[in-house]
């Protein structure tokens, strides 16, 4: 990824910079070049916007189903394998 910051960015170069741009990882010169390009290019503006919309939509997939059963099983295993083995120790945090 090495378009010269001095030269104007092409659209093809710009699309490879969008993640660095969003993540604020561009050096100052490249950031200026990217912003200058954006101001002057509807296609790249739409592209960047669509990447942002995609990221937002992905967050909407976050419902990962029911986690309570996983949790109960994990805690049961812990109780069985650890808490009981150390049960009479120092009384550390047996919550039930």
Partner 1 sequence: MGQPVGDEPRDDAELVEALRGGDERAFADLVDELGPALRRLALAHVPSEAVADEVVQDTWLGVIRGIDGFEGRSALRTWIFRILLNNARTRGKRERRTLPFSFFRRDDPEGRGGPTVDADRFQGRRGDQPGAWARPPVEWSSPEERLAGDAARRVMLEAIAELPARQREVLTLRDIQGYSAAEARNALELTETNQRVLLHRARAKVRAALERHFDDEGGAGR
SS3 10: coil
Q: Is 11 in the site for Zn ion (CB under 5 A)?
A: yes
Among partner 1, Zn ion, none, the one that 5 touches (CB under a kind-dependent 5 to 8 A) is none
Q: Is 18 in the site for partner 1 (CB under 8 A)?
A: yes
Measured CA to CA, the distance from residue 43 to residue 10 in angstroms comes to 11
Handedness of CA 20, 26, 31, 34 (dihedral sign): negative
Residue number with CB closer to Zn ion (15 or 83): 15
Count of positions on this chain that bind partner 1 (CB under 8 A): 56
Q: Is 44 in the site for Zn ion (CB under 5 A)?
A: yes
CB of 46 to Zn ion, least distance (A): 9
Measured CA to CA, the distance from residue 15 to residue 40 in angstroms comes to 14
């Amino acid at each position: 990824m090495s378009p010269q910051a001095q030269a104007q960015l092409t659209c093809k170069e710009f699309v490879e910079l969008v993640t660095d741009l969003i993540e604020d990882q561009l050096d100052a010169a490249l950031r200026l070049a990217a912003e200058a390009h954006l101001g002057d290019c509807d296609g790249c503006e739409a592209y960047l916007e669509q990447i942002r919309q995609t990221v937002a939509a992905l967050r909407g997939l976050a419902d990962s189903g029911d986690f309570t059963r996983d949790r109960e099983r994990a805690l049961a295993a812990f109780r069985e394998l650890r808490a009981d083995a150390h049960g009479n120790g120092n009384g550390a945090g047996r919550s039930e």
